[in-house]
Structure 1
Amino acid sequence: MTDVSGLTSSAYQQALEVIASVEPRIADATRAELADQRASLKLIASENYASPAVLMTMGTWFSDKYAEGTVGHRFYAGCQNVDTVESLAAEHARALFGAEYAYVQPHSGIDANLVAFWSILAHRVEGPWLQKAEKKNVNELTEEDWESLRRELGNQRLLGMSLDAGGHLTHGFRPNISGKMFHQNQYGTDPETGLLDYDAVAAKVKEFKPLVLVAGYSAYPRRVNFAKMREIADSVGATLMVDMAHFAGLVAGKVFTGDEDPVPHAHLVTTTTHKSLRGPRGGMVLATEEYAPSVDRGCPMVLGGPLSHVMAAKAVAFAEARQDSFRTYAQNVADNAKSLADGLMKRGTKLVTDGTDNHIVLLDVSGYGLTGRQAESALLEAGVVTNRNSVPADPNGAWYTSGVRIGTPALTTRGFGHDEFDNVAELITQVLSNTQPGTTKAGTPSKASYVLGDGVADKVKAASAEMLDKHPLYPGLDLA
């Protein structure tokens, strides 16, 4: 990570002094958060470190603006500078991903998915329904018309990757709104290999005939052939939507190209703007021109007013991602994930799909006699930050799980390379090998409590500190 200049350090110090003058506990918590992140091995696959430029862009008076609508068509006056910000963010996004259209207003990945889902419904269902009913727009509908249209919109089918196979809860998981909006079904992975079986997906699609086929993942450690997924979608006239929130940085950095790049093949692509893309927390929808008018209705269809200060930070992050250095970074993320996976496997840890070729490594910790929750907690005690995650056909369900998901984007940003990630694999193995399941107050086996061997946490923290000190987080930034 590039050194923070003295000017930047001074700016943060003064900003915290201003905050402390109003609520010192927030200033203290902010300093503590930086200290914690500096001292931890952050391996959460969905987290990263944004640049000071991105972070500082969010702390401006753009936060004060209401700007419902789109560029040049706002429902509030005085939005000319917001128009500039949103236009620049969309311009950078189109150039970065080679997309025909970019919508940068979504506040999160879930918001982006909701915009995409409702855009598909509007384009594929509402539009044809209005034409058939000989109505120009929804303003002409009677209450009887509305009831008929609501039945039509609410009876569409969506097929997404199952949660335990590596999909996301917004891909049709029942407790999520996506599982309530649609008549939903799921495809999984091969029970032996854990890999996508495209023939099986094709058979499921032909049987279920969804309006929307969702591709993409949050815990699948392999690449996807999106050209094949488009062929499968086209076989039943479905819309292919790809959620690339996790691997957007690998697409932007040209690690995923050709059939593995979703943008040329999908009708719509959704993403977050943080994670491997290293921007601010937010979302985005990329689309073909065919779907652009529907997506452009994201506000007020799904969203409220856009967060103008975050759109500004997205523009800065996309500009950073268009630099050659970001391509080097993205390739290092993938290379480091392989080093981490190889280091774990050679030490006896079982991995879902026996490895990785993206940024995600998914451990099956059942071989250690642990649940994912026990493993996650023991690792956190030792200063290794991860998150528990389901594995295919997980006997422990989505709360306790049998897996732990880790990723390389954040530590790669700090400058970790092959040797460091091999050392990280050693530290993870030490923790898991020295952790035992705990018991409940009644003396029965517990899925949550654990017992970590004496001295293990301190030993791992000391070894971590040596690596972290060589790769400081925001070097030059002094908040004392």
Structure 2
Amino acid sequence: MSYEQVRQTDPATADALEGEVKRQENTLAMIASENHVSEAVLEAQGSELTNKYAEGYPGERYYAGCGPADAVESLAIERAKELWGAEHVNVQPHSGTQANTGVYLAMLEPGDKILSLELEHGGHLSHGHPANFTGKTYKVEQYEVDAETGYIDYEGIKAQAEAFEPDIIVSGYSAYPREVDFERIQEAADAVDAYHLADIAHITGLVAAGVHRSPVGVADFVTGSTHKTIRAGRGGIIMCGEEHAGAIDAAVFPGAQGGPLMHNIAGKAVGFNEALSPDFEDYAQQVVDNAEALGSRLQEHGFSLVSGGTDTHLVLIDLRDSHPDTTGTVAEEALEEVGIVLNKNTVPGETRSPFNPSGIRAGTPALTTRGFDEAACERVADIIYRVVDAPDDEDLKAEAAAEVEELCAAYPLYDREGSLVDFE
């Protein structure tokens, strides 16, 4: 993408933008929540819709001149309904967290009870962490994954719910590598007459493609991000049955937000349309296959994976067994030096600080977008092992950086026509 106009008016910002383009082209994005969108999505998000206020909903706006905005938002809504099979969809949340906020505001009162997964065990800030507004507004109790297996303990959730009597149970996670049994959590919610919010922020694309079971039609509310495994415009989404449609819409606007970001909604519409292509199902399956290949090769190198593997787009590596003196922070920094960008992460039973934890999280959505297959992901695992095994070896890191550079050249992010390279 050219930043000629930006350079004319603001050279410093143009330098930063061009630096980000080069960074993405020349490094391997393995943060599980990141992906690369098509130039069509980028163009839509940079459109003149950024100039337009459109408070309200299609056909019921508070400002004039909203015809094109209505058309774009309606397209995004209808495509989302087709992708996920939802009765009602709100595409206005600015993020996955804002989507969760919409559900809480619609269905809870201050002081009501939330039961959700502990952050250190793979949950999310917006599920009730004390630093988040949820932890300040509601009474929160959290469950954990099984310490031995790394899996969700569904019977434990049910027993905890019966003792705590929550008003809402939250499922869906940010660092859980296994498929979620939403039906089991719905049973726990039904047993205590609680709502069930399934946050599929990380797996929206996997669910849309049918490579992960869907909570739509099971949970009362389904929220998610629209820029991770689904590769659409950055933001959030809420899905629910028609009986909750009015409450959800009112909670999003005017309850939690003002005017929607119509340029982002345009990006959602375009990305959803791309995801309706049969090729997207192949992409999503390849994401899962690549994560499995990455994890298996890491295990061959002696790394311990939380839960022993993955069913999804990510692996969570616990360094305490294989590299007890290496923290996630050290591993993250050493890997970034060679061009592999992933994140330090807490692990179940964390014995260190969240700011300097014992694990690292690695995802395959962005690699798969570039065209990586299982063999290429195994090669990445080999590099990760060598670097984490000797994070202070400058000669080794120079060799690893050269190999990353070779991989980036072999799997370019954009082809000569500027379209995302098909993974095939």
Instruction: Work out whether 1:26 is the aligned partner of 2:35.
Output: no
Residue deviations 1:180-220 (CA, integer Å, cap 9, x gap): 12110001111111111111110001111110100000000
**Secondary structure of the equivalent of 2:354?**
helix
Counterpart for residue 421 of structure 2: none
8 Å CA contact 2:338–2:404 kept in 1: the answer is no
Instruction: Work out whether 1:261 is the aligned partner of 2:214.
Output: yes
Give the Cα separation in 1 of the matches to 2:137 and 2:275.
35
Counterpart for residue 138 of structure 1: none
Counterpart for residue 6 of structure 1: none
From 90, 94, 98, the counterpart of 1:103: 90
- Counterparts of 1:68-147 in structure 2, within 5 Å, are 68-121=55-108
- Counterparts of 1:233-272 in structure 2, within 5 Å, are 233-256=189-212, 260-272=213-225
- Greater shift, 467-476 or 410-419, is seen at 467-476
From 459, 462, 472, the counterpart of 2:402: 462
**Structure 1: 5+ residue stretches without partners:** 1-11, 122-152, 436-451
From 42, 45, 55, the counterpart of 2:29: 42
- Greater shift, 47-56 or 36-45, is seen at 36-45
Q: Quote how far apart the aligned CAs of 1:222 are.
A: 0.4
Give the Cα separation in 2 of the matches to 1:375 and 1:154.
41
From 289, 312, 316, the counterpart of 2:242: 289
Higher Cα radius of gyration? 1
Q: Quote how far apart the aligned CAs of 1:285 are.
A: 0.5
From 262, 265, 271, the counterpart of 1:308: 262
Counterpart for residue 340 of structure 1: 294
Residue deviations 1:140-194 (CA, integer Å, cap 9, x gap): xxxxxxxxxxxxx222100001111111111111111111121100011111111
- Greater shift, 92-101 or 64-73, is seen at 64-73
- Counterparts of 1:80-479 in structure 2, within 5 Å, are 80-121=67-108, 153-256=109-212, 260-297=213-250, 298-366=252-320, 367-368=322-323, 369-435=325-391, 452-476=392-416
Residue deviations 1:202-258 (CA, integer Å, cap 9, x gap): 0001111110100000000101111111111100110000110001110011101xx
Give the Cα separation in 1 of the matches to 2:361 and 2:417.
30
**Structure 2: 5+ residue stretches without partners:** 419-424
1:474 partner amino acid? Y
Give the Cα separation in 2 of the matches to 1:163 and 1:317.
30
8 Å CA contact 1:273–1:279 kept in 2: the answer is yes
* Paired-residue identity, %: 43
Residue deviations 1:267-317 (CA, integer Å, cap 9, x gap): 111111001111121111111111111111111100111001111110000
Q: Quote how far apart the aligned CAs of 1:27 are.
A: 2.1
Give the Cα separation in 2 of the matches to 1:24 and 1:423.
38
Q: CA RMSD in A?
A: 1.1
Aligned positions, number: 415
1:178 partner amino acid? T
Residue deviations 1:444-466 (CA, integer Å, cap 9, x gap): xxxxxxxx112122111111122
Residue deviations 1:370-392 (CA, integer Å, cap 9, x gap): 11111111111121101111101
Give the Cα separation in 2 of the matches to 1:40 and 1:59.
24
Give the Cα separation in 2 of the matches to 1:271 and 1:228.
20
Q: Quote how far apart the aligned CAs of 1:477 are.
A: 6.1
**Secondary structure of the equivalent of 1:242?**
strand
8 Å CA contact 1:120–1:291 kept in 2: the answer is no
